[in-house]
């Protein structure tokens, strides 16, 4: 009987982390930016059926990059957690911090398990507060760690380069149009050293958590002519916004 090939635990974890990072980097980035009236999510995603950005609960939204089937399972689990907690206790008891902790436990367990491959996903969970200083943004890498972010954050693709670009140009008090312009400019640089690209409204998925909305639900998608106006281009698509929930 042959002796099994030995791999140290440290090397095994390093290999799993490298595998997950490579899978995440193959996708296009998602950028999340705080602005005066809330938080805007911008993803390069020409599909109108497969969303990278979705609503979780009243003030909470979710963005993800990586393998769609994996982060969609996580999204659905987050919606169920939020609905159950809000029904059992109170709607105010559903928080981004609590949801991030649930995702962290799930991703950490999967990453450390030798029986299955690590998830090739990176998540952002954000909650809009009554004032900018109350906003919460959490980034969750593939290993289940939690990073508390402020101002602007990018995940997926060439996120390091995009993140540096955002850090240099983001400031407090941005309007929605200014935040969207910054997000699109940063995403256009996701070219691994090549020339910046031109991104159109049809190539983008945009949504906001708008603290000024009178409704209890603050999530809203920005589509069609409204998105084109914010980008400074002529809109040709029908419909300005889709305020329906992404819950299943």
Express each pLDDT in 32-62 by its tens digit: 999 999 999 999 988 888 999 999 999 999 9
Judge whether 7 lies within some domain.
no
- Using an 8 Å Cβ cutoff, are 222 and 228 in contact? no
Judge whether 248 lies within some domain.
no
Judge whether 98 lies within some domain.
yes
10 Å Cβ neighbour count for 45?
18
Judge whether 15 lies within some domain.
no
- Is the pLDDT higher at 8 or at 217? 217
The 10s digit of each residue's pLDDT in 95-109 is 999 999 999 999 999
Judge whether 158 lies within some domain.
yes
Nearest to 30 by CA among 79, 65, 3: 65
Is residue 146 predicted with pLDDT exceeding 50?
yes
The alpha carbon of residue 160 and the mean position of all alpha carbons in its chain are separated, in whole angstroms, by: 15
Stated length of the chain? 248
10 Å Cβ neighbour count for 174?
21
HSE (side-chain half, CA atoms, 13 Å) at 16:
24
Judge whether 20 lies within some domain.
no
Domain residue limits at 39: 32-242
- Is the pLDDT higher at 235 or at 76? 76
Prediction pTM value:
0.88
- The predicted pLDDT at position 239 comes to 43
pLDDT band at 8 (very low <50, low <70, confident <90, very high): confident
Nearest to 149 by CA among 173, 167, 176: 167
Q: How far apart are CA 82 and CA 45, in angstroms?
A: 26
Tokens of 78: 């987050």
The number of folded domains in the chain is: 1
Averaged pLDDT, 153-179: 92
Per residue in 191-211, is it b (16+ CB within 10 Å) or e — as a string?
A: eeeeeeeebebeebbbbbbbb
pLDDT band at 233 (very low <50, low <70, confident <90, very high): low
pLDDT band at 244 (very low <50, low <70, confident <90, very high): very low
Nearest to 222 by CA among 38, 64, 27: 38
Distances (CA, A) of 147 to 92, 142, 200: 23, 12, 31
Of the chain, the percentage scoring pLDDT greater than 90 comes to: 71
* CATH value at residue 227: 3.60.20.10
Distances (CA, A) of 118 to 11, 51, 198: 15, 22, 34
DSSP 3-state of 38: strand
Judge whether 1 lies within some domain.
no
């Amino acid at each position: 009987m042959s002796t099994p090939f030995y791999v140290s635990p440290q090397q095994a974890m390093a290999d799993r982390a490298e595998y997950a990072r490579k899978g995440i980097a193959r996708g296009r980035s998602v950028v999340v930016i705080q602005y005066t009236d809330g938080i805007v999510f911008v993803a390069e995603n020409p599909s109108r059926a497969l969303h990278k950005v979705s609503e979780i609960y009243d003030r909470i939204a979710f963005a993800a990059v990586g393998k769609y089937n994996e982060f969609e399972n996580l999204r659905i689990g987050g919606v169920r957690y939020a609905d159950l907690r809000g029904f059992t206790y109170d709607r105010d008891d559903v928080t981004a911090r609590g949801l991030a902790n649930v995702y962290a436990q799930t991703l950490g367990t999967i990453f450390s398990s030798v029986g299955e491959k690590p998830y090739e996903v990176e998540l952002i969970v954000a909650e809009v507060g009554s004032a900018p200083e109350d906003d919460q943004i959490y980034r969750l890498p593939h290993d289940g760690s939690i990073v508390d972010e402020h101002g602007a954050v990018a995940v997926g693709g060439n996120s390091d380069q995009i993140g540096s670009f955002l850090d240099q140009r983001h400031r407090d008090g941005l309007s929605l149009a200014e935040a969207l312009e910054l997000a699109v400019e940063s995403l256009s640089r996701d070219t691994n050293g090549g020339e910046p690209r031109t991104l159109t409204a049809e190539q983008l998925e945009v949504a906001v958590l708008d603290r000024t909305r009178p409704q209890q639900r603050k999530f809203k998608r920005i589509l069609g002519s409204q998105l084109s106006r914010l980008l400074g281009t002529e809109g040709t698509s029908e419909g300005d916004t889709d305020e329906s929930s992404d819950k299943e």
